[in-house]
Structure 1
Amino acid sequence: MKVVKFSGELVEYDKSKLSRSLKKSGASDEVVAEILNKIEMQLYDGISSKKIYKLAFQLLKSSANVHAARYNLRTAILGLGPAGFYFEKYIAKIHESLGFETTTNVVLNGKCVSHEIDVLLLKNDLVKMIECKFHSSNDAKSDVKIPMYILSRFNDLKDRSYRLFGSNRAINSCLIVTNNKFTEEAIKFGTGYQLEMLSWDYPLKKGLREIIDQYKIYPITCLTTLTQFEKEKLLAVDIITVKDLIEQNDWLEKLEISKNRIRKILSESHQL
């Protein structure tokens, strides 16, 4: 059975891969087996991976909203676009949860030119700059030109003193973050020049997906109980993560959402 990927590539249907992604949602083995059975009854040669994903999402949602929300995570991160402005804020929120002080969109003068830095981190008196590469589709990859370009920016900024986090400090290191994947050449280049890199699946077992699941730092865009309009309104007032929404849930009333729906939204949020 052939499946058409997002990129247009034809591949064999992989039941084990679909099973693993369903299990990552938190669904039980019994629910996963039932969903796989229902999906396979609707498969045909040349079916798109997008259609399989939609079938799985709807079946998970009928089982439990929270499972669908976790399964929808990668697509939900695309909802932090289209330009990636909210993705940068989301990456800052993740690092706040990891114990860093953060600030976003800072303009600094380098040795040769000025640079707008997506995120700056402070921990143990060391400053790290983060450059985010946001892709608006799941099949795009960050190639070797990305770390090459960012290395040149880092080199123009390092070894200089700036007023950061209330003191004069230098930028000590650089991290490149993407919502998708790096090519092998990009990883080789970044590793060779000691650039830290974080993508959906890199470093192995320590990628963005694992960090989000481990620390429960989910974006509000993964919530199945919110409409697209509501998500956009909440992002605009800097409610980026599900934790933000729980802590500032009065915004749900300000959006004139009914009490019954608010209970459902907060129930899904707390389960995540």
Structure 2
Amino acid sequence: MEKTINIIKYSGEVEAFNIEKLKRSLRHSKASEQLVTEIAEEIQAQLTEGITTKRIYEMAYGMLKRKSKSGSARYKLKKAIMELGPTGYPFERFVGKILEYEGFKTNVGVVMQGHCVTHEVDVTALKAEEHYLVECKFHNHQGRNCNVKTPLYVQSRFRDLETQWLKNQHHSLKFHKGWLYTNTRFSADAIQFGECAGLGMVSWDYPEQNSLKSKINLLRLYPITALPSLSKQDKQKILNNDIVLCKEICDNPKLLDDLGISTSKRKRILKEANELCNH
């Protein structure tokens, strides 16, 4: 019988290591089943009592990076989104791009007059008669979730803006809805309130079939920060030029030309981006 090894999660909680759980997370990389098994078994053989999930992730990412660049980029997706920080603005642009590829006309950072006060809305999205107001809640640390206070606040803002819009006859013909996007998770009471109040809510893993993770993988809208070849400095240069998606570079490689990145590195970046966009 194999000895149980206890590991420490980001939250500080202790649990027994489960190789099947590690394999499930590795499968998100789209690596072959053989490679998934090889990496999981190699990590299991190196475990020590009290090792952190952060260290296990680093080991898995390093092994994947050596054997599959695009696989390592998909594996680090959650962390890559956190690297869009430290401010929330790149995440707002990222959410705006997702909605754009879903067929919406979007604007980021819009000041709008409500019935009571003025609001700055992170993203406005319009498609036919659907008019959405989107608040983006960005966290750049693991383990920080959205509790019920956030959807309460977002719904209150939405109602103030909706009251003002409905004074306009043209707006009264549209379907208005408030949405909340986060890159982490919602607490149970946050989800309960959102469902009861009719607030649209999208987190890393909610709703199950249309979560942030699902949307990114379905549309192949991977953040630029997922690319293994980019240094922290390179990522910041690109984000400072309002480029947040690998797909933006795939569609227009010339975007990299004026960023002071060497020709050989640009080629590697493009290769990795195309592998992700066209997998």
TM-score, with structure 2 as normaliser: 0.92
Counterpart selection for 1:28 from 32, 38, 42: 32
Q: Where do 1:51-62 residues align within 5 Å? A: 51-62=55-66
Q: Where do 1:249-268 residues align within 5 Å? A: 249-268=253-272
Is contact 1:127-1:169 (8 Å) kept? no
Deviation at 1:249, TM superposition (A): 2.2
Give percent identity, aligned residues only. Answer: 39
Structure 1 unpaired stretches of 5+? none
Partner residue, 1:237: 241
Partner residue, 1:200: 204
Deviations 1:217-272 (A, max 9, x none): 01101011111111111111111100112233224332333332222111111010
SS of the equivalent of 2:257 reads helix
Partner residue, 1:9: 13
- Matched letter for residue 104 of structure 1: V
Is contact 1:110-1:157 (8 Å) kept? yes
Deviation at 1:140, TM superposition (A): 0.7
Is contact 1:26-1:67 (8 Å) kept? yes
SS of the equivalent of 2:125 reads strand
Partners of 2:256 and 2:116 lie apart in 1 by: 47
Structure 2 unpaired stretches of 5+? none
- Matched letter for residue 184 of structure 2: N
Over the residues paired in the alignment, what is the CA RMSD in angstroms? 1.7
Q: Where do 1:172-251 residues align within 5 Å? A: 172-251=176-255
Deviation at 1:90, TM superposition (A): 0.2
Counterpart selection for 2:171 from 169, 172, 177: 169
Partner residue, 2:85: 81
Q: Which has the higher strand share?
A: 1
Deviations 1:151-195 (A, max 9, x none): 111111103239x9xx96367101111000000000001101011
Partners of 2:202 and 2:20 lie apart in 1 by: 26
TM-score, with structure 1 as normaliser: 0.95
Q: Where do 1:88-127 residues align within 5 Å? A: 88-127=92-131
State the aligned residue count.
Answer: 269
SS of the equivalent of 2:164 reads coil
Is contact 2:113-2:164 (8 Å) kept? no
Partners of 1:11 and 1:177 lie apart in 2 by: 30
- Matched letter for residue 68 of structure 1: S
Deviations 1:105-150 (A, max 9, x none): 1111111111110000001122100011111212111001111111
- Matched letter for residue 174 of structure 1: G
- Matched letter for residue 158 of structure 2: F
- Matched letter for residue 169 of structure 1: H
Is contact 2:115-2:163 (8 Å) kept? no
